[in-house]
Chains A and B, each alone.
Chain A
């Protein structure tokens, strides 16, 4: 007696295998959808923007005449913004991470700070803009200058640095700390001389990713009130400024009036994406090259 009716099984399996293969094709298509969009997006931006990129475009100041308009102001603005964001976010982010990983006892306060940071990561960037506008620009009366924008941005990207630094510090093996204590070093000496150097690649990766996020964010700075008007090239952290994404924003919404503005926006996007691409590559490079495995 046969326990299995082969033809029956084959008949049943046929449709199930067909469904499996169809589904596999569908899943592959869905995966490719994202890639196709990426290709189209990059093709469009390069196609519209590349012919407009030249030395004049990079070095010229803002102008209402599309032929003469340049992004030098936005580039210097972005650099000045980094002058504020980088030190502030590093100090706050790494400090918080050291406290949470090395000093905090597992209690209510430290878990409250942790929950708070993960919630902060989910607050929409436009709300940070409101905070910056109210606290830095109006209450502290800084106005919409680099310092106000930079402090807002630093708070916005803070969770990225904290989480990355926490992971990097946690990955430093305990025996390194014990060896340091064994030599008679104190806790802070151990952190300063052993833990932080060992965690540095991971921390740096987080910092670079946070900075590249800050370079790409638009909403908080628009809310703080970066003027759409022609402003002088910023010369310090107390000057009014503009940055690449904000420039893209104003050119895009005005492209309904002047068609060439769309090309200017595309050209600026090419530069912005190039900067982000370089920064992210550096971050990946650091992570791959210097990340020690114990």
Chain B
């Protein structure tokens, strides 16, 4: 309606005054050149915007790299990666990253011991056993679990899971690696479950029906047909879960304490790479000190680890994807 009125108005206006064709053409030319400029400019602006994400990555790598190099001028490379002692403060500061690596490794292993079996079984139930109605009810609830901020899980680990575990593991310290590891696993369950379920759901029904027609039970179909067919997606979900556990920060920062122990005893307090970063940046590291640079060396190690994991996951799901 509006458009019609506008056209009508312009007709009236053009009839009201003398029509000057040359003016109309010039007017058209002017707007056209403006339109042309926008058309040429917009893609360039958008490309600039898209490039910012690349600059972010470059920025991350550059900041980490320059400061890490500065760190390795003060602390030899070998000492850093083979040192079992980490004592970043005080006179005789020692920087060995092994305590942090074992802390990260152990918490990740505990998390995956929870997340892989429970997540995979959840995926199997949702994809193979549950009715459509049950799945539509359960899946969103699991997604809620994935959307809870990690700080809330940290609170949960510190104020609920640790006291609970201490009631039947007497030697457990108030801050330990076991409780945040378990809670991290719970946090990762929805991720493993959802990605594995996607992989299993995309296995065509014809394959299941073929096996069922031969007399296989549902369990046998799942175990011998569906899982082997979906294995690439399932493994990719595990790898992503591991990467998530390595990079997780707040749960371990709260519940695993800050002891830089080089130990494999899960009842003890240990520090992970992420928790170290949070502790050191808590305002105390003055720029230019070795302590400050150690932050970047640890962050670089963390970045490289998670990057490799993510690339592996991408590679697996791309390379071994079965096409039906």
Instruction: Give the interface of A toward B (CB within 8 A).
Output: 16-17, 19-20, 23-24, 26-28, 30-31, 33-35, 37-38, 40-41, 44-45, 48, 91-92, 95-96, 98-100, 103-104, 112-113, 115-120, 122-131, 133-135, 138, 155, 158-159, 162, 186-189, 212, 215-219, 222-225, 227, 245, 248-249, 252-253, 255-256, 262, 265-266, 269, 272-273, 276, 280
Contact = CB atoms under 8 A, between A and B. Distances in A.
B53 A34 contact: no
A172 B281 CA distance: 46
A280 B148 CA distance: 11
A218 B151 contact: yes
A120 B49 contact: no
Given A20-B217, A119-B310, A158 B154 contact: no
A282 B38 CA distance: 35
A216 B314 CA distance: 27
B63 A135 contact: yes
B197 to A, nearest CB: 11
Interface centre among B50, B54, B121, B303 (most CB of A within 10 A): B50
B113 interface: no
Interface string B216-241: 01111000000000000000000010
A187 B39 contact: yes
B148 A273 contact: yes
Interface string B121-158: 11011100110000000100110110111111011101
A126 B302 contact: yes
A265 B155 contact: yes
B203 interface: no
A37 B129 contact: no
A104 B48 CA distance: 12
B249 interface: yes
Given A19-B219, A124-B306, A273-B152, 16 more contacts: A23-B219, A27-B124, A41-B152, A41-B160, A95-B45, A125-B247, A127-B303, A129-B277, A133-B281, A134-B63, A249-B154, A253-B158, A265-B155, A269-B152, A272-B149, A273-B148
A28 B43 contact: no
A199 to B, nearest CB: 15
B243 A122 contact: yes
Task: Report whether over half of chain B's contact residues are helix, strand or loop; otherwise say mixed.
Answer: helix
B63 A99 contact: no
A134 B126 CA distance: 45
B47 interface: yes
B142 A34 contact: yes
A103 B57 contact: no
B281 to A, nearest CB: 5
A248 B296 contact: no
B149 A127 contact: no
A117 B299 contact: no
A93 to B, nearest CB: 9
B247 A124 contact: yes
24 contacts: A16-B220, A34-B122, A38-B144, A44-B160, A96-B46, A96-B53, A116-B57, A119-B311, A122-B243, A122-B310, A124-B246, A124-B249, A124-B274, A127-B299, A129-B281, A135-B63, A162-B53, A186-B39, A218-B249, A224-B281, A225-B282, A265-B155, A266-B155, A273-B148
A36 B293 CA distance: 43
Contacts of B57: 116, 119-120
B266 interface: no
A187 B247 CA distance: 42
Given A30-B122, A103-B47, A122-B306, A17 B217 contact: yes
Q: Which residue, B144, B151, B189, B303, has most C-beta atoms of chain A within 10 A?
A: B151
Contacts of B159: 44, 48, 252, 255, 262, 265-266
Given A20-B218, A24-B218, A124 B302 contact: yes
Given A20-B217, A126-B302, A218 B283 contact: no
A34 B118 contact: yes
A31 B122 contact: yes
B53 A158 contact: yes
Contacts of B154: 249, 252
A201 to B, nearest CB: 19
A124 B276 CA distance: 14
Given A20-B218, A276-B149, A41 B156 contact: yes
A227 B63 contact: no
A189 B38 CA distance: 10
A17 B219 CA distance: 9
Interface in B38-89: 38-39, 42-43, 45-47, 49-54, 56-57, 59-60, 63-64, 67
A19 B56 contact: no
A47 B283 CA distance: 34
Contact of B54 (A113, A122, A123, A215): A113
A100 B49 CA distance: 11
B155 A269 contact: yes
B254 A30 contact: no
A213 to B, nearest CB: 9
B191 to A, nearest CB: 11
A218 B246 contact: no
Given A23-B219, A223-B277, A252 B155 contact: yes
